[in-house]
Amino acid sequence: KQLNVRPIRDPKWQHVTHDQDRIALIGFGAASISCATFLSRLGYKHIDIFEREKFVEGGGVLKSQVSKLRHTKTNIDWEVQQLLHLNPQIEIKYGQCIDLKDKQAIHDRFIEDMKYDAVFVGAGNQRVNGPQDIIGQAD
């Protein structure tokens, strides 16, 4: 299989360097995999994914709880491998317990304490009331 999407930006776009920007993604499900893929294609290199459960290994609830009749784990694993091939600098940090209902605490922990430039909350619906959020400054 191939991704069938060019892993680089359109050469006509103005070049923007994102070498120093640090992005944190909370959750390792479909939303964070997609977010990390697109950020990597846009040139972001320093992306850390925080996942509470070690057994998830990419795919989140889709992989661990949705019926195998609706997807195959092979496809999800392939998406994760494509992401890691696209951006080998991505770090996946397991065992992180984060209170996702308190946006200020997320901001304080990731933006102030850990010095990330932005945080994407892509946790499953069982963890957050509302849609995924991006916390931080967007250019």
Q: 39-62 in b/e burial notation, b at 16+ Cβ within 10 A?
A: bbbebbbbbbbbbbeeebbbbbbb
Q: What is the pLDDT of residue 65?
A: 66
Residues 6+ apart with CB under 8 A from 114: 24
Instruction: Say yes or no to pLDDT of 46 above 90.
Output: yes
Model confidence at 95, pLDDT cuts 50, 70, 90, reads: confident
Which range, 26-30, 52-56, 99-103, has the best average confidence (pLDDT)?
26-30
Residue 77 CA to residue 93 CA, distance in Å, equals 17
Q: What is the pLDDT of residue 50?
A: 92
Residues 6+ apart with CB under 8 A from 115: 22
